[in-house]
Amino acid sequence: GGIEEGEDPKTAAFRELREETGVSSAEILAEVVDIKEPIYKEVLSFFAPYLKEQL
């Protein structure tokens, strides 16, 4: 997924998680990676090791 205009990366991560899995309550414990490839494109990865609800 991508980040919509005016959306911050963490909000986008929660939105994408909800859209792709239906999970609406998760907690981001840490930002794992921040890679820039190429210079104009920033890639952030978020992992949810703990979910507040069962799938």
Distance (Å, rounded) from C-alpha 40 to C-alpha 46? 20
Tens digits of residue pLDDT in 7-52: 988 898 889 889 988 888 888 777 766 656 655 566 667 676 666 6
How many domains are contained in the chain?
A: 1
Domain hosting residue 2, numbered range:
1-55
Token readout for 20 is: 């792709």
Say what the pTM is. Answer: 0.56
pLDDT of residue 6: 93
Distance (Å, rounded) from C-alpha 8 to C-alpha 34? 14
Distance (Å, rounded) from C-alpha 49 to C-alpha 36? 24
